[in-house]
Amino acid sequence: MMAHITRLRRLISAHHAAGGYAKVVGGLLLMLLVATAVAAPLLAPYDPGAQVAAPFAAPSWAHLLGANDIGQDLLSELIYGARVSLLVGLLAALAATVVGTAVGLAAGYFRGPLDAALMRMVDVMLSLPFLPLMIVLGVYLGPGLVTEILIIGTVIWAHAARELRAQVLSSRERGHIQAIRAMGASAGYVLARHLLPAVFPLVLPQFLRAANAAILLESSLGFLGLGDPTTKSWGTMLFYANARSAFLTHAWLWWVLPAGLCIAATVLGFALLGYAMEPRIRPRLRARPRSWLVPSAASCGSRSGQIAVRETPLLQVADLSVTYETAGSAVRAVDAVSFDVRRGEVLGIVGESGCGKSTVAMALLRLLKPPARLVAGRMLLNDRDLALLSPAELQRLRGARLALVPQTAMNALNPVYNVLHQVVEAIMAHRSVSRREARARGLELLALVGIPPERGQSYPHELSGGMRQRVVIAMALANDPQLIIADEPTTGLDLLVQAEILALLADLRARLNLAMIFISHDLAVVLRIADRIVVMQAGQVVERGPAAALAAQPEHPYTRRLLETMPRLKIASLFESVLSDRPADDVRLVTIGKEEQ
Ligand code: ADP
Ligand code: MG
């Protein structure tokens, strides 16, 4: 076993060493070739277009590689040829990578018909034999450097598109990207600031691969006589060598071989760099969003002055039904659910795992994705039906008037930025304020959720679960939402922290007059914070009522069961301890004491 591991280690380190050499050798080769191309006028002994020797002259000290059929110096031609070959190759590769990346991002992000159409195009491109295609295009468009670039770009973009699409498809489902979308970020913003950086590590190898192919294709085009005859590339040199029968004499040694070696060296250089890059890049694929985005709404200030209750509820949900439609069967996860949320009120939704709570939350945010389908119901927020909003309206609403506090804060935070930065970005994304103002506001928000200013510099992994949940709450508050949907915001936190987060939410709710939908499977938790409670079972509302009444006199057997199975350890006592600022040790003693009952 040990021997096996040692061998494996040795193999891995050999692989790493090979990667290191490949990078150095590949890099040097390419640097040398690029330097030759750049310094061609200095390096070339003659003007490649001038007749300076006898036709078909053999190599001599004056003409190291001899001369071609019209007496032009072949060494000079070779050196200038580097310019054309590399320029065409690199520009074509760049164009192909840009187009491929754009197509991959668009297809992976928007999915649906656009994806289908783009991917059919990619399939067609990848299945066409590209040499004949290139010849047809070359003959049709005529010779010239720009057309060469276009032809090569057209032929090779599809590969990058397919690879990047796959990566986008998986990146877009990541927690933080979902969270940003829940907060109403526009498609353009998500694509440019989050998905592009997430897939960028793949773009470079795609470019190297494209450059490799492009150099070879350029040589082929040149060799077939479809290159630009006035500015010769290595491929064009080969075309002339072939046309003037250099292969039949010794002339192939100085006319054909050097150009061939140059092409091979370039391809080798790109291949080695690509090889060196692979192990370094693949494991690091990860989404790297810049921020948790929160679109802007009204003012930054507290809304404590607002009137608490008006006649019409803030949110009216009526007969909401959602099904998950899989092959043949449809599960009705939410079945004719109705409830209201008044301004400044906390509505609790409680029910065991799988009863449809998260589905209700996602339906409200309009974030249901197939196989989920909203089959019926109205969701009136300020008298406007959420189900009927256009994507642009939705985007303005999410995060601004409706904000989500998700369960797993770690997923919703970007690991590579400190938390203050993420709050600041959230503010700036939708408000035209200076960075300084946004920072000040960011610190204010952090203070509001009980994070001292110096912790703003911490990265998510440096904070405890409770602290991270506080940051996420600060972000949800960034745009002064009218309604916060908190889906299991304390689940997964340990009891003491749970109680602290609950206390924070209760405190914020009182101070900011927030309306909130508080979702949890834990009735004990919901009872502590909700004014009214909706009990769900298997997609249906089985009981509803004011929290106190529901706890005192449950009517539905399911509610009674929930009450009975509530842990003996009442989070209530913990909650009150936290609110009354008893020392933590004391609270922990309470916890242990009750647990042992
Ligand atoms: P909760 O948040 O209350 O735990 P969910 O809203 O996540 O419950 O799920 C409710 C029900 O919807 C589940 O019991 C399951 O039957 C169904 N469901 C959820 N997600 C999917 C899915 N992706 N595909 C099929 N059915 C699903
Ligand atoms: Mg859930």
Atom nearest to 355 CA in ligand 1: 3
Q: Could you tell me if 424 and 350 lie in one domain?
A: no
Q: Who surrounds ion ligand 2 at CB < 5 A?
A: 358
Check pLDDT > 70 for residue 491: yes
Domains contained in the chain, number: 3
Residue nearest ligand 1's atom 25 by CA = 324
Residue type for position 471: V
Over residues 38-59, the mean pLDDT reads 88
pLDDT-derived band of residue 296, with 50, 70 and 90 as boundaries? very low
Asked whether the beta carbons of 520 and 534 are under 8 A apart, the reply is no
Asked whether the beta carbons of 218 and 266 are under 8 A apart, the reply is no
Of all ligands present, the nearest one to the C-alpha of 538 is: 1
Residue nearest ligand 1's atom 2 by CA = 358
Residue in the block written with tokens 């913990």: 574
Over residues 104-118, the mean pLDDT reads 89
Q: Could you tell me if 425 and 463 lie in one domain?
A: yes
Q: Could you tell me if 240 and 339 lie in one domain?
A: no
Q: Could you tell me if 590 and 528 lie in one domain?
A: yes
Of all ligands present, the nearest one to the C-alpha of 357 is: 1
Check pLDDT > 50 for residue 204: yes
Name which of 90-94, 262-266, 301-305, 511-515 the model is least confident about.
301-305
pTM to 2 decimals? 0.53
Tell me, yes or no, whether 324 lies in a domain. Answer: yes
Check pLDDT > 50 for residue 300: no
Tell me, yes or no, whether 61 lies in a domain. Answer: no
Atom nearest to 371 CA in ligand 1: 24
Over residues 197-206, the mean pLDDT reads 83
Check pLDDT > 70 for residue 12: no
Q: Could you tell me if 174 and 267 lie in one domain?
A: yes
CA of 100 to the centre of ligand 2 (A): 37
Q: Could you tell me if 552 and 432 lie in one domain?
A: no
Tell me, yes or no, whether 293 lies in a domain. Answer: no
CA of 173 to the centre of ligand 1 (A): 17
Of 480, 506, 528, which residue is a domain's last?
Answer: 480
146-149 contacts, C-beta under 8 A, 24 or more apart: 148/88, 148/92, 148/218, 148/221, 148/226, 148/227, 148/228, 149/88, 149/91, 149/92, 149/95
What letter does residue 379 receive in the DSSP assignment?
E
Decide which of 54 and 282 is more confident.
54
Asked whether the beta carbons of 215 and 270 are under 8 A apart, the reply is yes
What letter does residue 190 receive in the DSSP assignment?
I
The pLDDT of residue 570 is: 52
Tell me, yes or no, whether 295 lies in a domain. Answer: no
Q: Which two tokens stand for residue 122?
A: 């990619």
CA of 406 to the centre of ligand 2 (A): 10
Asked whether the beta carbons of 192 and 168 are under 8 A apart, the reply is no
Over residues 191-209, the mean pLDDT reads 84
| pLDDT tens readout for residues 126-145 | 888 877 888 888 888 888 88
pLDDT-derived band of residue 7, with 50, 70 and 90 as boundaries? low
Q: Could you tell me if 269 and 346 lie in one domain?
A: no
pLDDT-derived band of residue 311, with 50, 70 and 90 as boundaries? low
The pLDDT of residue 162 is: 86
Helix (H) or strand (E) holding 324: strand 315-326
The pLDDT of residue 11 is: 62
Asked whether the beta carbons of 80 and 48 are under 8 A apart, the reply is yes
Tell which residue, 252, 303, 334, has the closest CA to residue 534. Answer: 334
What whole-number distance in Å separates Cα of residue 242 and Cα of residue 256? 8
Atom nearest to 353 CA in ligand 1: 4
Asked whether the beta carbons of 478 and 427 are under 8 A apart, the reply is yes
- 3-state DSSP helix/strand/coil percent for the chain, to nearest 5? 60, 10, 30
Over residues 285-305, the mean pLDDT reads 32
Percentage of the chain exceeding pLDDT 70: 85
The pLDDT of residue 516 is: 95
Give me the CATH number covering residue 29: 1.10.3720.10
Residue in the block written with tokens 């303005």: 396
Helix orientation angle between 196-223 and 74-110, rounded to the nearest 10 degrees:
140
Question: Best substitution site from 329, 355, 521 to test ligand 1's pocket, by max atoms within 8 Å of Cβ?
Answer: 355
- Around Cβ 153, how many Cβ atoms within 10 Å? 22
Decide which of 391 and 340 is more confident.
340
Check pLDDT > 50 for residue 582: no
532-537/329-341 β-pairing: unpaired
Q: In what order do the strands lie in the sheet with 372-381?
A: 329-341, 315-326, 372-381, 384-385
The pLDDT of residue 6 is: 62
CA of 466 to the centre of ligand 2 (A): 19
What letter does residue 543 receive in the DSSP assignment?
E
Q: Which two tokens stand for residue 541?
A: 């509302």
Tell which residue, 394, 324, 338, 343, has the closest CA to residue 365. Answer: 394
Decide which of 301 and 15 is more confident.
15
CA of 419 to the centre of ligand 1 (A): 31
The pLDDT of residue 79 is: 94
Of all ligands present, the nearest one to the C-alpha of 408 is: 2
Tell which residue, 236, 200, 197, has the closest CA to residue 77. Answer: 236
**Helix segments in 195-324, DSSP class H:** 196-223, 234-243, 252-255, 257-281
SS (H, E, C) 481-492: CCEEEEECCCCC
| CB within 8 Å of 242: residues ≥ 6 apart | 223, 256
Name which of 288-292, 488-492, 586-590 the model is least confident about.
288-292
The pLDDT of residue 166 is: 79
pLDDT-derived band of residue 14, with 50, 70 and 90 as boundaries? low
Check pLDDT > 60 for residue 453: yes
- Paired with 321 in beta bridges are 376
Helix (H) or strand (E) holding 112: helix 112-127
Instruction: State which residues form the domain around 389.
Output: 313-401+481-596
Over residues 265-286, the mean pLDDT reads 70
Over residues 282-298, the mean pLDDT reads 32
Tell me, yes or no, whether 65 lies in a domain. Answer: no
Of 430, 460, 480, which residue is a domain's last?
Answer: 480
Give me the CATH number covering residue 374: 3.40.50.300
- Paired with 374 in beta bridges are 322
Tell which residue, 387, 385, 409, has the closest CA to residue 501. Answer: 409
| CB within 8 Å of 481: residues ≥ 6 apart | 297, 399, 400, 401, 402, 403, 514
Decide which of 590 and 65 is more confident.
65
Residue nearest ligand 1's atom 5 by CA = 356
CA of 466 to the centre of ligand 1 (A): 26
Of all ligands present, the nearest one to the C-alpha of 362 is: 1
What whole-number distance in Å separates Cα of residue 517 and Cα of residue 355? 16
Q: Which two tokens stand for residue 291?
A: 């921020």
CA atoms within 13 A on the CB side of 438: 21
pLDDT-derived band of residue 585, with 50, 70 and 90 as boundaries? very low
The pLDDT of residue 252 is: 81
Tell me, yes or no, whether 66 lies in a domain. Answer: no
Q: Could you tell me if 174 and 225 lie in one domain?
A: yes
> How high is the mean pLDDT of the chain?
82
Over residues 364-385, the mean pLDDT reads 89
Over residues 70-82, the mean pLDDT reads 91
Q: Could you tell me if 95 and 231 lie in one domain?
A: yes
pLDDT-derived band of residue 467, with 50, 70 and 90 as boundaries? very high
Q: Could you tell me if 92 and 212 lie in one domain?
A: yes
The pLDDT of residue 539 is: 93
Atom nearest to 487 CA in ligand 1: 2
Tell me the CA distances in angstroms from 183 to 297, 315, 392, 397, one per residue in order.
12, 18, 13, 8
Question: Best substitution site from 324, 365, 519 to test ligand 1's pocket, by max atoms within 8 Å of Cβ?
Answer: 324
3-state secondary structure of 432: coil
Over residues 59-75, the mean pLDDT reads 88
| pLDDT tens readout for residues 155-175 | 889 988 988 887 888 777 776
What whole-number distance in Å separates Cα of residue 124 and Cα of residue 18? 37
What whole-number distance in Å separates Cα of residue 29 and Cα of residue 275? 14
pLDDT-derived band of residue 199, with 50, 70 and 90 as boundaries? confident
Of 454, 480, 506, which residue is a domain's last?
Answer: 480
Helix (H) or strand (E) holding 446: helix 435-448
Decide which of 575 and 459 is more confident.
459
Q: Which residues line ligand 1 (CB under 6 A)?
A: 324, 326, 331, 333, 351, 353-359, 371
Asked whether the beta carbons of 339 and 511 are under 8 A apart, the reply is no
| pLDDT tens readout for residues 223-238 | 888 888 788 899 988 8
The pLDDT of residue 307 is: 39
What whole-number distance in Å separates Cα of residue 338 and Cα of residue 326? 25
Q: Could you tell me if 260 and 168 lie in one domain?
A: yes
The pLDDT of residue 578 is: 54
Q: Could you tell me if 277 and 367 lie in one domain?
A: no
Cis omega (within 30 of 0) for bond into 371 = yes
Check pLDDT > 90 for residue 357: yes
- DSSP tally for the chain: helices H, then strands E: 24, 10
Decide which of 331 and 184 is more confident.
331
The pLDDT of residue 364 is: 94
CA of 317 to the centre of ligand 1 (A): 19
The pLDDT of residue 9 is: 62
Tell me, yes or no, whether 291 lies in a domain. Answer: no
| CB within 8 Å of 508: residues ≥ 6 apart | 448, 449, 473, 477, 514
Tell me, yes or no, whether 465 lies in a domain. Answer: yes
